[in-house]
Structure 1
Amino acid sequence: MHPPIVPFRQFVLKVASRCDLACDHCYVYEHADTSWRGRPMVMSDETAARVADRIAEHAAEHRIQTTHVVFHGGEPLLAGIDRLRRFSRTLRRAVEGVCDLDLRIHTNGVLLSRAFCDMFADEGVKVGVSIDGDRAANDLHRRYANGRSSYDQVVRAITLLRDDYPHLYAGLLCTIDVRNDPVAVYEALVALRPPRVDFLLPHATWDSPPLRPGGRRTAYADWLTAVHDRWRADGRPVPVRMFDSITLTASGGDSQTESLGLRPSDLVVIETDGSYEQADSLKTAYDGAPATGFDVFRHSLNEAARHPGFAARQGGLDSLADECRRCPLVTSCGGGLYAHRYRTGSGFANPSVYCADLFRLISHLIDKERRNPTAPVHRLPVATLDALASGSAGADDVARLRAPQLSGARLAAGRAAAVVAGQESWSVLVDAERADRDAVDDLLSHPYVHAWAARCAAAGPARLTAADAGHLAAVAAVAAVRTGLAVKVTVPVTGTFVHLPGLGRMRADGQDHAEVDAHDGSFAVRVDGRWLSEDSLLWEPVRTIEAAGLRLLLDDVDPYRDCHGLPVEDRLTGETAAEWGEVVRSALASLTEDQRAAMRAGLRVLTPLKAGTPGAAGRTAYGAVALPLGAGPETTARLLIEHFHRAQLGALLDLLDLTGGDPSRERLLCDVYGLLSVAGLLGDEELARLTAAIGRITDGALPAVGRRFAEGLAEAAARLPLPGHSRRR
């Protein structure tokens, strides 16, 4: 009986084994392995058909939901448009009804044309491009055999993708050369507006170590930390796979790359002659290092998976050198890329040749994350801080809090995805972001999507509930609807409903899961074998309240609206919703135009609470205020103002330390700030307590920014009417 295997989910198909560039850092043609010389220049149709059959067979046996295939080389575009079209169709026909197919191509870009892109659009092939930075950096290695630069052709190709085929643009790959200026390389890549950037360490071993100018032991870590710190200061404008993987693995998630983390490798390479090989990076170790002796004509993928070479890359902690197993950063590092551990005499039983670099880089990133987990640096003008302290903040001041809240929401969503480990759902989110980043940003910053993500990230894998984990699929389905993607997503039924955040819920009694079909900006949910749309009587949409220039969601269905710490109402009847809407409209009409303008900039959702509760604004649900049923317009207006201001202070506290880390003083500050916003409605006794509370805040050591904020509060309090002279509106 055979031992269990780790099934393959990633397939690198070498459709061409020659290249039109002569990059001197290429691991295929410039390192130890020379097997390419004896292989066909392109993969044949017969071989491609056999590959497709093997993949379908493997996916069916292991019930794999999504198979990832990358056309590779050499330079895969040398295979030609017609051949690549045939290969794409052969693969899709083979796996139809078995699994989904994520099909990509990795190219140097010099041959990429509109004709290629039209074909890729027809066949659903996404395109990644290699470029090493600005012209100087790229020309250091990526040249033609005659020495001519490839830079202009590559930038032209990327521009074509970005501007005319953005849904195909998969990202950029950059091989590091520490002689290049790290910030200049970073800026050049970001200027191309990629959906993702991969920074790759140049392939090296202990026998052929990497270039280290001046003998600097951590030259690559120094280069990457310079990029990371600039990227962080810019607010993480683009996902960077290496940096994101370190952050994710440090918090218990999975790496996004085989070069980091302990997750078993599930990748196999298939050469132009149909041979199964291990990762291409092994070509840098010694001649024949990736070979298995197996091929698609004589052997199944299961047989290949049992090869000792694959097993060695799937052993996790047990397969690492003693030094690695003892290292405190091993869960993030994972021993580094397998090929980089090679040394003659001891094989791969060594730390990475980049060990010192990885230790310094990972330590630096973890330290940065611990110090400032919201990551992006958002500078708040002093005038805005003063306006918030005095209670005179206008719409522009409130709007300045949106960017850091969005950054926090995106970071929380990324951490939640790492904890949930829902690769297919996360892929839908990534594709949706490529189609329309603004729409995905709007979804991720929805108060209750943010509350869900924060809950998952805080729980961690051990305490994550099935409902919380499954909600990632619901978020992905809504992202597809909002961006017009055509996908089907399997979403859990929570209680008796399929929840689609921000849209509503569909009743699905007696089911554990339901399929959501997103298409053309709309959707249908499969319930009891029937496809139900938004017109169905089983659909309960999120309602809206419009008044005084505001358009607010009345959300009484989202499963994460309970984040306010008070009992929420379930779905309101139509009559009750209409009555409450009239109360809210009257309350809004009683506010000043400045108050309404500020709410337009920072309020998005109202949620009804049980009657008699005091109202709330949950810290993780910025943009939502929860208000009790049964209150009249005057009380509703007061609670709306108070908790809207509390929400703004919560957003400010996410950005700045105003209390020196003192949680009791922070709670007092929130109470004071909310009451100060409605001071004109307070009685004498309440005013006296408010003034005393402000005194307690300022009585003690505060950070400089907290001191300035507290002084602004005190000045605002000094302008309040004295007890005995209060005025009620």
Structure 2
Amino acid sequence: MSAEKAPFVAMAKPVGSKCNLRCGYCYYLGTDERIDNGCAAVMDDETLECFIRRYIGESTGPAVSFTWHGGEPTLAGLDFFKKCVALQKKYLPAGWECWNNLQTNGVLLDEEWCAFLAKERFDVGLSIDGAKPVHDKYRKNAAGAETYDEVYAAAKRLVAHGVRPDLLCTVTSDSAENPLSVYRALRELGTGWVQFIPIVRQDENGDVTPDSVTPEGYGKFLCDVFDEWIYHDLGKTGVQFFLECALVLSGGSASLCWMAPVCGRVLVTERDGGVYACDHFVDPEHRLGSVQTDGLRALVDSERQAAFGNAKREKLTAQCRACSYLALCNGGCMKDRFVRSEDGEEGHAYLCAGLKAFFDHAVPRLKTLAQLQRAGLAPGAIMERLRAQELQRWKGIGRNDPCPCGSGKKAKNCCWDKKP
């Protein structure tokens, strides 16, 4: 438990890929078949206790963060999570504490669930795709019924119990068409935190699926939401990616693994105890070992896992290495590196063009945001300062003049309707 050891996270999937929804874009559904996970439907008591004991015992402390993921982890049942909390208390050293994060679709979160999550101070990540039409297109239950109303009710129920869930919203080809309606629907839930997750999938032929957001669509989505957020919601609604960018620009290190120079510090423990390199690489090739026989610290620090994580940096394309925004994305997630770079090099980030468009658009203001935060200005004062700067930039610009954003378009065909 030496503090000199690098921290790591061991995400747990107590029901594997089992889920009560059939989301059209889900990357994890069917994983049980791919890894031939024929064990019990829920992580058994012996495996659970072994996982909790090892994870606490091999963590750097004094806070140990548990993430419960799926599939849909609430299918394990409320008693399972009561058992988790009891085991954590059993193995925690004096002066240490546990933080639990539950990633859920929210459908099963009734009053009893919400009361438990509040009592045990769980953080909750709630999947909801913004506006009802977009959410219900992809996030249907096993019977094909829409789920938005159930999830919306769960969000309100959590808030009523004092739990403000982090809202996890995917960005699909559909939602990218209506960025502000998606963002405003999330903002109006009043939970205070939003995370956007771009859907990028390939079919069996290696072609990008129709539900995947295009790079250009993702870039525009981020730009439109950023303009709304930076002038109206700073300090009230946290948008994870924007705040992570500001953190990096102020000299900090991103907490999002896909933004970091290397990855590999977030392991996945499946319901049978199998440990895997990454949530997006749960397959036989990336199975590292088992909690029943292997130490988590030994697995995450192994040469094999180090090679997996270091590949993120070592396999950057020349275009990435020369990019002025490298520190902000570091080539993105390895799972999304399947296109060619501008000079034809394989293994380039699919979302590169969209991210670059966003960085071009937002980085000057994010740098100002970081500077003003360091100077101690309150969010309201920062928004006023940024609005004043933007108004000055628009001074004297008419509808038919070139847009000051630098797009080359006329203002009326570009950012005219987004002026502060």
Q: Distance in 1 between matches of 2:45 and 2:63?
A: 23
Q: Distance in 2 between matches of 1:69 and 1:127?
A: 12
Letter in 2 for 1:312: F
Q: CA deviation at 1:316?
A: 6.4
TM-score (norm 1): 0.47
SS at match of 1:78: helix
Are residue 204 (structure 1) and residue 201 (structure 2) matched? yes
Tell me what 2:272 maps to.
273
Of residues 216, 232, 235, the one that matches 2:233 is 235
SS at match of 1:11: strand
Tell me what 2:173 maps to.
178
Are residue 323 (structure 1) and residue 319 (structure 2) matched? yes
Of residues 280, 288, 296, the one that matches 2:284 is 288
Q: 1:246 to 1:205 in 2, by over 3 A?
A: farther
Q: Distance in 2 between matches of 1:45 and 1:31?
A: 22
Aligned length: 378
Q: Distance in 1 between matches of 2:170 and 2:285?
A: 22
RCO (CA 8 Å, sep 6+): is it higher in 1 or 2?
A: 2
Tell me what 1:711 maps to.
none
Residue identity over aligned pairs, in percent, reads: 25
Tell me what 2:100 maps to.
103
Q: Please list, as runs of the form range in 1=range in 2, the aligned pairs for 1:180-579 lying within 5 A after superposition.
A: 180=175, 181-204=178-201, 207-209=206-208, 211=210, 217-236=215-234, 237-262=236-261, 264-283=263-282, 287-292=283-288, 294-305=289-300, 306-314=302-310, 317-342=313-338, 350-370=347-367, 373-374=368-369, 412=373, 453-454=374-375
Q: CA deviation at 1:272?
A: 0.4
Q: Which runs of 5+ in 1 are unaligned?
A: 376-407, 413-452, 456-619, 623-647, 662-702, 705-729
TM-score (norm 2): 0.80
SS at match of 2:375: helix
Q: 1:655 to 1:173 in 2, by over 3 A?
A: closer
Q: Distance in 2 between matches of 1:92 and 1:210?
A: 45
> Is the Cα–Cα contact under 8 Å of residues 264 and 277 in structure 2 kept in the other structure?
no
Q: Which runs of 4+ in 1 moved over 6 A?
A: 650-655
After superposition, what is the alpha-carbon deviation per residue over 1:137-163, rounded to whole angstroms, capped at 9, x for unaligned?
10111001221001111011000011x
> Is the Cα–Cα contact under 8 Å of residues 312 and 331 in structure 2 kept in the other structure?
no
Q: 1:269 to 1:228 in 2, by over 3 A?
A: same
SS at match of 2:284: coil
Q: Distance in 1 between matches of 2:11 and 2:134?
A: 27
After superposition, what is the alpha-carbon deviation per residue over 1:209-242, rounded to whole angstroms, capped at 9, x for unaligned?
35489x9651211122112112223233311111
> Is the Cα–Cα contact under 8 Å of residues 37 and 272 in structure 2 kept in the other structure?
no
Q: CA deviation at 1:65?
A: 2.9
Rg: which structure is higher? 1
Q: Please list, as runs of the form range in 1=range in 2, the aligned pairs for 1:633-648 lying within 5 A after superposition.
A: none
After superposition, what is the alpha-carbon deviation per residue over 1:574-604, rounded to whole angstroms, capped at 9, x for unaligned?
xxxxxxxxxxxxxxxxxxxxxxxxxxxxxxx
Are residue 43 (structure 1) and residue 38 (structure 2) matched? no
> Is the Cα–Cα contact under 8 Å of residues 9 and 68 in structure 1 kept in the other structure?
no
Q: CA deviation at 1:655?
A: 6.8
Q: Distance in 2 between matches of 1:651 and 1:30?
A: 45
SS at match of 2:109: coil
Q: CA deviation at 1:367?
A: 3.1
Letter in 2 for 1:148: A
Q: 1:656 to 1:109 in 2, by over 3 A?
A: closer
Letter in 1 for 2:26: C
Q: 1:363 to 1:32 in 2, by over 3 A?
A: farther
> Is the Cα–Cα contact under 8 Å of residues 21 and 145 in structure 1 kept in the other structure?
yes
Q: Distance in 1 between matches of 2:306 and 2:267?
A: 9
Q: CA deviation at 1:319?
A: 4.9
Q: CA deviation at 1:32?
A: 11
> Is the Cα–Cα contact under 8 Å of residues 15 and 72 in structure 2 kept in the other structure?
yes
Q: Distance in 1 between matches of 2:365 and 2:45?
A: 51
Indicate the RMSD between aligned Cα atoms, in angstroms.
Answer: 3.4
Q: 1:39 to 1:7 in 2, by over 3 A?
A: farther
> Is the Cα–Cα contact under 8 Å of residues 278 and 310 in structure 1 kept in the other structure?
no
> Is the Cα–Cα contact under 8 Å of residues 100 and 123 in structure 2 kept in the other structure?
yes
Q: Distance in 2 between matches of 1:192 and 1:357?
A: 27
Q: Which runs of 5+ in 2 are unaligned?
A: 397-420
Q: Distance in 2 between matches of 1:110 and 1:216?
A: 30
Q: Distance in 2 between matches of 1:212 and 1:14?
A: 26
After superposition, what is the alpha-carbon deviation per residue over 1:105-146, rounded to whole angstroms, capped at 9, x for unaligned?
111000001111222233232221100111101011100122
Q: CA deviation at 1:178?
A: 2.6
Q: CA deviation at 1:182?
A: 1.0
